[in-house]
Amino acid sequence: MTIEIKSGSLSDFFASAKETAKEIDSGKQLTKKNTVWVDPKDLLLLLKPERTNLVQYLRKEKRVIFSKLLKVLNRSPASLNKDLKILSKYDLIHISRESNPGHGIHKIIESSLGNQKIDFRVQI
C-alpha cells in the first residue's frame, strides 16, 4: 500500500471527497486510499533532508525514545522537536510519553507509515 501526500487547500480536499462520494453512489468498487493533504508551504518542509532521514530511520526502528534519536541523528533537541512537530501535524508519526521509573518521563516517537511507499504529488 502507498501513502500519497498531496499539496492542496481545503477546497482541494473537499473536491476529492466529493469525487469519491460520486464513485460510491455509482456503485463503483473502491480501494482504500491513504492520502494526506498538505498545505503547499509545508510540503517543501517535509522534503528537507533532515526530515527524510528521520522518516527513514523511523521506518527501520518503528518506535524510538527521543534521547536515542538525538544521539543517532546527531541533532539538537530544538531542531529535532521542530521536525517531529511538522511530521506529527500530518500524522506521519505519533508522539507519546511513557513513565521511566526513577528517571521521569520518556518521549516516544512511533512511525505511522510502516514500510509503505510515500508518493508526493504536487500541482502548481
Q: What 3 state SS string does 81-97 have?
A: HHHHHHHHHCCCEEEEE
Q: What average pLDDT does range 98-102 have in this prediction?
A: 81
Q: What domains lie within the chain, and their CATH numbers?
A: 2-121 (1.10.10.10)
40-79, pLDDT tens digit by residue?
Answer: 777 777 778 888 888 888 888 878 989 899 999 898 999 9
Give per-residue pLDDT as tens, 8-30: 666 776 777 787 788 778 888 77
State pTM to two decimals: 0.66
